[in-house]
Structure 1
């Protein structure tokens, strides 16, 4: 896989359009300009594994945080790094495999949530609402564990199929 100018995370490449010579999803959430490389994730866990191992560039993660309205503090909590450590990275520095993997999980979650809710803003609001299904915690507060990610993904599946708890 060649990486050139965009960072793009997606689960399903549907509604394709041409963007700078690459096929990308029309409603893609996670696109950033990145002089060091293009990351095009089509379908397949091996692409995610390769991207996790090679590391995501800090600038891409900052762009993701802006798109999903995460503060630096919230992002640091999800990524399991301190705010100060994150701030010390240069914009073009590659993040560790663990941090990159969590960033991909976050991107996938918000992509899925946008598909289920129809609009990113609706999903962002839901993520910040205390819900009975999560013991009156906000979904965003559960993102510090992979179990929390899975719990939210499971709930999105129930919502998609009209099964409300």
Structure 2
């Protein structure tokens, strides 16, 4: 992962770290996120993010809508397709929001795997296979951040 200063300077030969650079995914404008999704994210950055989320390859493949086998075949320096990159960016945004709300990655990771009444007794991680699930979880994190508990 190289240094990353601006989404406008991003090229296929360098990719931002989705974990170490919160501004990459968390504070990007919608247009910058679109641009970055189209250019693609390196598999290596995605794997770093998955490690921070204590996510298995199987969980990651389910979220990305790709088989484990396909994901495994990609080289670490492979730029992911726009649809996979978009989901990786959504996951990164969720990670940074959750980490900010819960204070650290471990607490957020535990929360992601806990069945909760707000999600009809499902663990939030099970909802990440749809964009609606991402939205629902982000909304719940916003409520928690402001002390509004369901």
Q: In the TM superposition, what are the counterparts of 1:2-151 in structure 2 within 5 Å? A: 2-3=9-10, 7-9=16-18, 30-31=19-20, 40=24, 43-151=28-136
Shift of 1:31: 2.7
Aligned residues of 2:42 and 2:80 also touching (Cα < 8 A)? yes
Asked if structure 1 preserves the Cα contact closer than 8 Å seen for 2:115 and 2:123, the reply is yes
CA deviation after TM superposition for structure 1 residue 162, in Å: 1.1
Between structure 1 and structure 2, the one with the greater Rg is: 1
State the secondary structure of the residue aligned to 1:136: coil
Paired position in structure 1 for 2:3: none
More helix by share: 2
Unaligned runs of at least 5 residues, structure 2: 1-7
- Provide, for residues 74-130 of structure 1, a one-character-per-residue CA deviation record: whole Å limited to 9, x for no partner: 000000000000111111111110000000000000100111111111111100101
* CA distance in 1 between partners of 2:111 and 2:46 (Å): 22
Distance 1:124 1:160 in 2: 16
TM-score computed with the length of structure 1 as normaliser: 0.78
Aligned-residue CA RMSD (Å): 1.9
Q: Distance in 2 between matches of 1:45 and 1:66?
A: 26
Pairwise CA distance, 1:161: 1.3
Is there any run of 5+ residues in structure 1 with no aligned partner, and where?
10-29, 33-38
